[in-house]
Structure 1
Amino acid sequence: MHISIAGAGIAGLASAIALSQNGHSVSVFEQAARLEAIGAGLQLGPNAVRVLENLGVWSELEAQCCAPDRIRICDAISGRQLSELDLGDSFTRKFGSPYRVAHRADLINALAQSASRIADITIVNDCRITGLEPGASTCVKTLSGEAHETDLVVAADGIRSQLRAHIGLENQPRLSGETLYRALAPASDLPAGLDPDAVYLWLAPGAHVVHYRVSGGRRLNIVASIEQPADQTGWNNIASRGDVLAALPGAASALRDLLSAPASWLAWTGADLDPFTSWSRDNCVLVGDAAHASLPYLAQGAAMALEDAECLAACIGDGSGDLTAALVRYESRRQPRTARIIEESRRNAGIYHMRGPKAQARNLALRFMPGSMQMQRLAWIYASPPDNGSPR
């Protein structure tokens, strides 16, 4: 088959690679003039690493990742550590692949470099798909007036997908009531006394902060989520150090020093999608954030996009079977898992941002619950989905 993909982000590029491994020719249409490497850092759990290994991308990315030894959960006001979760050898043995962190730019670059070496993949930049005309084969129309015949359209065009309306889904993103701030700083700016080999999660009333090293350990990725309603479009709204510090009054000195380090910040509005019951229509199917955008509070957005790509390719196979049935299989395998990710991410927002007695009870539970028990609660995420297909 010839397959057209809208969007050259994580979901689009991974889908192109996975589908090409089954012998399909793939055209990826990206509306930007060049592949953009915007976005914050990414936590790549074993489920994400496993797919990257299967796609042949991991060797391209691994050197740019960092290997944290642990997750440290701390009270943002007192500075006290509440819990520590081990990410070392025992974690890797348990789940079969390691836990790594990376910058989104490095993952996009690794996917793009891998795709560029595959003869059956063509990436077309500065080309936006504006419409579809279904038939025996689908006609893809672009903003420049061109038309392309294709057997399948994969909509990987993000949370504000333009192609979602073709499926009959017009849901707008649900705003979460939070503003997220992100920044990069030199790794040397990590305040003394903080562990450079850890992922940190700081919990505050109405807010939380996550930070860890990326880009081979050269840079520090910092994200602060604040209960601060906004409706900003895009990922690159300019913010200031003062905006972030003002949103976290009373922060412990180490955390305040950390937030003071970056020279500039960018902001975006927290949003997700309510789960859909159908992801396909005619010869068009949704993947990644276009299908199931979630809040980043389980750190699974990139992983779910990668899993989608692998599952879609496994369901379609070499294309000799019934395509409609293959797309239904893909939906039925992926929808329950991604819906649970959306639900649990929303739940985590409420837990992270607790105030008063609820926060005190949460902190007490974290202090006395073994890290191994906390990690076990995430096993359903990190274990390989039983129905996601097998490596090709």
Structure 2
Amino acid sequence: MILSRTVVIKKVFGKRFNIDLFIEVMSKLENIRILIVGAGIAGSALFRRLKAQGHQVDIIEKSPTLTNEGAAICLPANAMIELKKLNLVDQVMACAHQVNQIEYALSNGKTLAKASLNDAPLNKAPFVALKRDALMNILRKDIAEEITLDTCLTHIEQTGESATVTFNNGYTQHYDLVVGADGINSHVRGIIQPDTPLLKHTVTNWRFITQKPSQDFQPVYYVGDTSLFMIYPISNEEVYCYGHVIDPTEQYYAMPVKTALNAVFANYAAPIKHCLDNMPDNDHIIRGGLKSVAKTESVYNNVVLIGDALHGCPPSLQQGAGMSLEDVNCLADQLADNTLDLKKVLVNYQQARSARVAWTVQESNKIIKLAGLGQSFIGRLVRNFIIRRTGPANVVGWRKLLAEKI
């Protein structure tokens, strides 16, 4: 059991001093020692919360500098709800752009379905988007100097009560808890799941920021036969663009990024042409491939996974940040409960997150499969019928997440 200083004062100094009681209580006072691996969204947010709780927390980052991978980020309502718990909503809203509607359209611009984000339960919090580096600057404010850079783990040895970690500099340290927050290509997950490779979706994707096609622009997802292009406003002047194509032979991945983008989306509607004509230089276009974790088990004795290390998957539901922040607050809330020992904390965390995490990964993968139906004529008819009947696929998922049905 971990006791707070307030509890100590009440137990010891609220009555006649008792040395035996003092020793007993002080032995329970020592907060647990925690290592956070990864200083991205999940790691930085968790560090903020645990430091505020008084735990002994170390945070490491494998990169030699605090760079930000990714152009921009979309934050659905559940992400904003979690940011409110971190007292960061005002800071995020000051540099974000709020949207009120989602549209799915064919590649020629013809609307398939629209959904308002002002209807319950979607209206529980604003839906916004902003540059990724702006979000990271907010999360890392006042903690950047405490992040140990150019550092990663090479080994974790667990006992019943602690974990001994070996760092890439050969140094070893004992921790009560190791938190893997090091992304979808998590080294921590690789150590504790050595025979569980990521699932690859044979999809190449690109992300970049460019000028907005027109004023009063709401997010639109254009779906083609084997490709998709999203335009999401992040300010009054700029939009976040995401495009992907089914690419089993990686022919488009091998092309120069601008050549590939123009080849895949040449016949798309005018707003996409505007974005392609105003693409940034190659260094500011991020190319990748869609992957998913194979397992969503979060606790391995004294090691716990959060963020994309736990539930990395395609951005179909745009839940990378939202689910990560839910992980952070769930784990931190459990650690703040002074009546629980660490084992019970981790049991509670896994039980609280298990179904929701597994559903989110499965649903995100399912949406990718839905998009893939466009490869055949019959498949396109089925896909388009489903979208017209049920609405934008991501909004369908958001409703379930916000209604807390899972």
Do the structures match in fold with TM over 0.5?
A: yes
State the match for 1:17 in structure 2.
48
Q: 3-state SS of the aligned residue for 1:198?
A: coil
AA in 2 matched with 1:156:
A
| Cα distance in 1 for residues equivalent to 2:55 and 2:154 | 23
CA drift at 1:375: 4.4
Aligned to 1:389: none
Residues 1:327 and 2:346 are matched in the alignment: yes
Matching residue of 1:130: 154
Paired position in structure 2 for 1:390: none
Distance of aligned partners of 1:40 and 1:352 in 2 relative to their CA distance in 1, 3 Å threshold: farther
Residues 46, 383 of structure 1: 8 Å contact kept: no
Distance in 2 (CA, whole Å) between partners of 1:255 and 1:61 is 28
Name the Cα RMSD after superposition. 2.8
Q: CA deviation at 1:48?
A: 0.5
User: Where in structure 1 are there 5+ consecutive unaligned residues?
Assistant: 387-392
- CA deviations 1:171-228 (Å, max 9, x no partner) are 11111010011122133xx2x5xx54311100110111111122x4443211101101
In the alignment, is the contact (CA less than 8 A) between 1:42 and 1:103 conserved in 2? yes
Higher helix share: 2
Residue of structure 2 in register with 1:186 after alignment: 211
264, 267, 280: which one aligns with 1:250: 267
Contact 2:122-2:402 within 8 A present in 1 as well: no
Are the structure 2 counterparts of residues 305 and 323 from structure 1 closer, same or farther at C-alpha, using a change threshold of 3 Å?
A: same
Do structure 1's residue 360 and structure 2's residue 381 form an aligned pair? yes
1:109 aligns with 2:137: yes
Over 3 Å counting, the alpha-carbon distance change for 1:217 and 1:28 in structure 2 is farther
Give the secondary-structure state (helix, strand or coil) at the position aligned to 2:358. Answer: helix
Given candidates 64, 83, 103, the residue that maps to 2:113 is: 83
Percent identity, please: 25
1:99 equivalenced with 2:99 (yes/no): no
Indicate the residue corresponding to 1:2 in structure 2: 33
Residues of 1 paired with 2:302 and 2:171: CA distance? 19
Q: Which amino acid aligns with 2:217?
A: D
Take 1:237 and 1:220, find their aligned partners in 2: how far apart are those partners? 26
The residue that corresponds to 2:277 in the other structure is: 260
Normalising to structure 2: TM-score of the pair? 0.82
5+ residue gaps, structure 2, are 1-31
> SS where residue 248 of structure 2 aligns?
coil
**Higher mean displacement: 239-248 or 286-295:** 239-248
**1: CA distance, partners of 2:157 / 2:385:** 58
Q: Does 1:150 pair with 2:181? A: no
Please say which structure displays the higher CA radius of gyration.
2
Q: Structure 1 length normalisation: TM-score?
A: 0.85
Distance across 2 between alignment mates of 1:360 and 1:249: 22
Question: What SS class does the counterpart of residue 354 from structure 1 fall into?
Answer: helix
Q: Indicate whether 1:285 and 2:304 are aligned.
A: yes
What does residue 314 of structure 1 align with?
333
Residue 73 (structure 1) aligns with: 104
Q: Distance in 2 between matches of 1:167 and 1:30?
A: 19
Partner of 1:67, secondary structure, is: strand
